Amino acid sequence: MKKWKHINFEQRKTIVSGITHNKKLCEIATILNLDPTSISKEVKRNRTLSKYGRTSQECPLLSRWPYVCTNCNKKYTSCHFNQYRYDSKVAQNNADCNLINSRKGIDISSEDFKELDLIIKNGVDNNKSIYQIKIENSDKVTKSLTTLYRYIDKGYLTTKKIDLPFAVTYKKRKYKSKYNYSDNIIDRSNHTYLDYLAYIHNHPNSYVWQLDFLGSIKKDSKSILTLSLPNLQFSIIEIINLPNSSKVVSFFDYIENKIGTDAFLDLFPVILTDRDPCFNDYDGICFSKNTGEERCKLFYCDPYVSNQKPNVENINKQLRKFFPKGKSVDNYTSKDIKEKNFILLDTPLKSLDSFTPKQAFIKVFSEELFNNLLK
């Protein structure tokens, strides 16, 4: 079956050269491996007026190849007709404009468009990403992800760009340090970011969890702890009242008691976090109360370098859909936090080939471990 392609600029230049050298239509068609009809239509469609004549009648010679006056002997002497020529640059510009115009607008019926508009609006109102909406409604949303974003950007849909949580660029904020790390001096020998890089080099297949607190307002007594596994985009979040180092240690002790020491050793070999004072007790985090032996490795990022643990920062960014900046989290319970966590875990992700973090975790580990860990 023959596949049709657009004539490109190089082919148009060849057509101009062929006309200039008085080549026949079939000869140019053979050189370009195109149908002669395609070339003749191309020339007639894109020829331009080069000189006005003294009569409104059209020259009879223009009704046959080459359809232009390039090699006509009369054009400088006795010609009284309008004269035409074929220019490759003009033809290419016309083709580009036609291609752009053909892709404008929406190639969808009004009924389908109304249904698509409603699906997108309901999904965004429920804090779902456009990708998640498309995956969950794949039988109804047949447009590509790029097309959906284009519809929003052009203002075709009820959902506007400002309704998307991360589509609007904000003015750069003034940086305010939450902690004075110079007053928080502890011996982090063998727990620095450089030590982490060395350990990962020697243990390249180790799972690395990233640990952080979601920023909260100063008057709040509660804070949300976030623990994420980048490989699977998997997250565990918990709310802690009056957080301190002992409560963070209790959080890991609780997980170990829920899933068992052996499962903890397999699931949490390495943890990477920042220098928040609540994470200072690395011995309490790293060593099991049940066996007295080391249960994980803990490493600290360099001060003020949050991009050393980007995945947990991204999870915190996703959590901002539920816990906006400047709003108190004191009214939330542990049950509320787990509900939000399950929303994240049940969200299909492009980085996981449309699977959810929950499905990825169960595939790698087991459903039993997932239930023990979160249910």
Inform me whether the pLDDT recorded for 2 exceeds 80.
no
- The predicted model gives 278-300 an average pLDDT of 94
Tell me, rounded to whole angstroms, the distance of Cα 38 from its chain centroid.
40
What local confidence, expressed as pLDDT, does residue 107 receive?
74
DSSP string, 203-237: -TT--EEEEEEE---TT-SEEEEEEEEGGGTEEEE
The fold of the 184-374 domain, in CATH, is: Nucleotidyltransferase; domain 5 (3.30.420)
What local confidence, expressed as pLDDT, does residue 169 receive?
60
Give the model confidence (pLDDT) of 31-41 as tens digits.
999 999 999 99
Inform me whether the pLDDT recorded for 178 exceeds 60.
no
Q: Hey, is 85 helix, strand or coil?
A: strand
What local confidence, expressed as pLDDT, does residue 183 receive?
44
Give the model confidence (pLDDT) of 14-54 as tens digits.
999 999 999 999 999 999 999 999 999 999 999 999 888 88
CA–CA gap between residue 16 and residue 19 (Å, rounded): 5
Inform me whether the pLDDT recorded for 1 exceeds 50.
no
CA–CA gap between residue 88 and residue 14 (Å, rounded): 9
Phi-psi sector, 214: left (phi>0), alpha (psi -120 to 50), beta: beta
Give the model confidence (pLDDT) of 115-137 as tens digits.
999 999 999 988 888 998 999 99
What local confidence, expressed as pLDDT, does residue 264 receive?
95
Residue 270 half-sphere exposure, CB side, CA atoms within 13 Å? Answer: 25
Burial 277-304 (b: 16+ CB within 10 A, else e): bbbbbbebbbebeeeeeebbbbbbbeee
CA–CA gap between residue 131 and residue 256 (Å, rounded): 35
DSSP string, 90-118: HHHHHHHHHHHHHT-S--S-HHHHHHHHH
Q: Hey, is 168 helix, strand or coil?
A: coil
CB-CB neighbours of 263 under 10 Å: 18
Inform me whether the pLDDT recorded for 338 exceeds 70.
yes
What local confidence, expressed as pLDDT, does residue 252 receive?
95
Pairing of strands 297-300, 270-273: parallel
Residue among 364, 315, 360, 359 nearest 340 (CA): 315
Rounded to the nearest 5°, which phi and psi values hold at 50?
Answer: -105, -20
Give the model confidence (pLDDT) of 309-318 as tens digits.
999 999 999 9
Q: Hey, is 273 helix, strand or coil?
A: strand
Percent of the chain with pLDDT over 90: 64
Residue 363 half-sphere exposure, CB side, CA atoms within 13 Å? Answer: 10
- The predicted model gives 249-263 an average pLDDT of 94
The set of long-range contacts for 339-343, using a CB threshold of 8 Å and a minimum separation of 24, is 340/237, 341/235, 341/236, 341/237, 341/374, 342/374, 343/127
CA–CA gap between residue 66 and residue 68 (Å, rounded): 5
What local confidence, expressed as pLDDT, does residue 177 receive?
53
Give the model confidence (pLDDT) of 188-233 as tens digits.
889 999 999 999 999 999 999 999 999 888 899 999 999 999 999 9
8 Å CB contact between 300 and 188: yes
Helix or strand (DSSP H, E) at 270: strand 270-273
pLDDT confidence tier of residue 172, bands split at 50, 70 and 90: low
Please name the residue that has the structure tokens 């002669």: 36
Write down the domain spans for the chain. Answer: 9-102, 110-163, 184-374
Q: Which residues contact 343 (CB under 8 A, 6 or more apart)?
A: 127, 322
Residue among 278, 259, 224 nearest 367 (CA): 259
As to burial, measured by CB atoms within 10 angstroms (0-12 exposed, 13-18 middle, 19+ buried), residue 214 is: buried
DSSP string, 285-350: HHB-TTTSSB--EEEEPPTT-GGGSHHHHHHHHHHTTTS-TTS--TT--HHHHHHHHHHHHTS--G
8 Å CB contact between 288 and 261: yes
Q: How many helices (H) and strands (E) does the chain have?
A: 15, 7
What local confidence, expressed as pLDDT, does residue 174 receive?
62
**Averaged pLDDT of the chain:** 89
Residue among 269, 255, 248 nearest 369 (CA): 255
CA–CA gap between residue 69 and residue 250 (Å, rounded): 89
pLDDT confidence tier of residue 330, bands split at 50, 70 and 90: very high
